[in-house]
Homo-oligomer: A and B are copies of this chain.
Amino acid sequence: MSTFMKNLNVTARCANQFRADKLAEVGLSGCQHSYIINICNNPGISQDALSKKLYINKSNVARQLSILEENGFIERKQSTEDKRNMLVFPTEKAKQALPVVIKVLREWSSYLSEGFTEEEIRKFTEMMDKISEKAQAYVTGKESSHEDSV
């Protein structure tokens, strides 16, 4: 395996542990930050749209949303237009957790960036952006070919 993907995975897992440590006080796990951000920024988003936005498969999204609902962070309502589609809304608890989530993510990024020049971070961010676009293209391509075949 090329080292960059191994180290990328390791970095993502360490980030998960950092968030888990720092977000325990608001009752969130290490992988729920992206749900809170996206649901607070898009109240009423459908489960399917959330799955696409997060690049997490539908069954994992459904499982995390059940946990978030149980813990009082979100509410789900059936769409009046399409009854199979569930819409997701943030609760007051989620809205209050949002600034903490953002603060923790900034803390982690600042910690990782320490000791690098602005130029080094700029170049890395630029390349990470391109790599991420390719990664997203795989998932998006898969979804559209699946939709074509339905």
Contacts and interface: CB of A to CB of B under 8 A. Distances in A.
Contact of A139 (B17, B108, B139, B142): B17
Interface of A: 1-5, 7-15, 17-18, 20-21, 34, 54-57, 102, 105-106, 108-109, 111-116, 120-121, 123-125, 127-132, 134-136, 138-139, 142
B108 A5 contact: yes
B11 A132 contact: yes
Q: How many chain copies?
A: 2
A45 to B, nearest CB: 17
Nearest to A9: B12
A127 B138 contact: no
Given A20-B57, A112-B5, A124 B125 contact: no
Which of A2, A15, A116, A129 has the most C-beta atoms of chain B within 10 angstroms of its own C-beta? A2
Given A111-B138, A131-B112, A9 B15 contact: yes
B4 A109 contact: yes
Contacts of A3: 125, 128-129
